[in-house]
């Protein structure tokens, strides 16, 4: 009952917002958005980071156009999915099974599950490593020097802790309420902090004369394609890490679990732009520009072996 009242109030707010000019709607849409930020958090992971570093460090500014193009392709797909889901209220898998083909629906579901395992599970050890660093800096506790079973169990426990937090959030996401609002606000703040962090790196590099801004602008215009296998693989990785097939499967369910309907269709488009497109383009571009300024043309020989300590040199 409480959730129904919340959805009704939100619907009335959206109807009132629709009569306002676009610029006056944006702050309210930013406050009401949420599922798009969850998609942004899903895509801004290790795959996007490594691809962005490789694009800048190995190819300089030449391939800056790849990730905006990949996001354009992906967000068009999400626009279509959100419009169809919110217009009909039918769950994506059911719509695909009944109106396209059952075999394609099951292939979509299995591919989404497989990609979630491949991309998602690799982030738990990554998160454990980051937590280890945070605990070492904030509390002074570290097991880095004691290599062996003890440290492995410590990292495993941290990974399980992250998994439990993610599982709890996902399980209760559809209930709404204060906890979900806090979670979505935290994602927005963390996304903003990531953007500011890499923006500071680029500004600092530019102040030291490491950034060629004319080359940066030219890099957003497609002029050539790599003719080597590694270059083609990098482009395919960028296309694959922008909007994954698991994101296309999950997004519709996220919208329905939030109680969104036909009245939320315009909000869903702004939600994708504000929560996914803009953060992704800013973060990936800033990483690639910073990597190009720091590594491109150096004698480090980074292609195919961009190591964490080299990335840390940024």
CA distance 314 to 312: 5
Please give the mean pLDDT across all residues of the chain.
83
Question: Out of 105-109, 293-297, 299-303, which region has the weakest mean confidence (pLDDT)?
Answer: 299-303
Whether 49 and 201 have beta carbons less than 8 Å apart is answered as: no
Instruction: Lowest mean pLDDT of 191-195, 218-222, 237-241, name the range.
Output: 237-241
List pLDDT tens digits, range 123-157. Answer: 888 888 888 888 888 888 878 777 678 888 888 99
* Residue range 263-276, pLDDT digits in tens: 899 999 999 999 99
Q: Does residue 309 surpass a pLDDT of 60?
A: no
* Digit-coded pLDDT (tens) for 242-251: 787 888 888 8
Banded model confidence at residue 39, pLDDT cuts 50, 70, 90:
confident
The pTM of the full predicted model, rounded to 2 decimals, is 0.81
């Amino acid at each position: 009952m409480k959730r129904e009242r919340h959805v009704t109030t939100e619907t009335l707010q959206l109807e009132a917002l629709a009569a306002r000019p676009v610029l006056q709607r944006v702050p309210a849409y930013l406050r009401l958005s949420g599922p798009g930020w969850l998609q942004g958090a899903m895509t801004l992971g290790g795959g996007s980071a490594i691809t962005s570093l490789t694009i800048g460090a190995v190819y300089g500014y030449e391939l800056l156009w790849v990730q905006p193009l990949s996001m354009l392709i992906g967000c068009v797909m999400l626009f279509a999915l959100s419009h169809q889901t919110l217009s009909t209220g039918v769950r994506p898998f059911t719509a695909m099974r009944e109106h396209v083909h059952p075999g394609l629906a099951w292939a979509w579901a299995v591919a989404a599950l497989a990609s979630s395992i491949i991309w998602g599970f690799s982030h738990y050890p990554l998160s454990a490593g980051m937590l280890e660093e945070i605990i070492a800096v904030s509390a002074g506790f570290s097991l880095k020097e004691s290599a062996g079973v003890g440290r492995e169990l410590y990292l495993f426990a941290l990974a399980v802790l992250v998994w439990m937090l993610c599982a709890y959030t996902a399980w209760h996401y559809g209930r709404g309420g204060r906890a979900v609002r806090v979670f979505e606000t935290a994602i927005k703040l963390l996304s903003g902090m990531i953007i500011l962090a890499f923006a500071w790196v680029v500004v600092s590099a530019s102040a030291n004369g490491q950034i060629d801004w004319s080359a940066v602008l030219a890099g957003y215009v497609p002029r050539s394609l790599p003719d080597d296998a590694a270059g083609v693989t990098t482009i395919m990785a960028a296309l694959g890490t922008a909007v994954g097939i698991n994101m296309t499967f999950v997004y519709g369910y996220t919208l329905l679990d939030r109680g969104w309907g036909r009245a939320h269709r315009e909000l869903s488009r702004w939600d994708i732009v504000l929560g996914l497109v803009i953060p992704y383009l800013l973060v990936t571009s800033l990483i690639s520009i910073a990597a190009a300024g720091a590594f491109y043309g150096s004698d480090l020989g980074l292609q195919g072996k961009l190591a964490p300590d080299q990335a840390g040199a940024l």
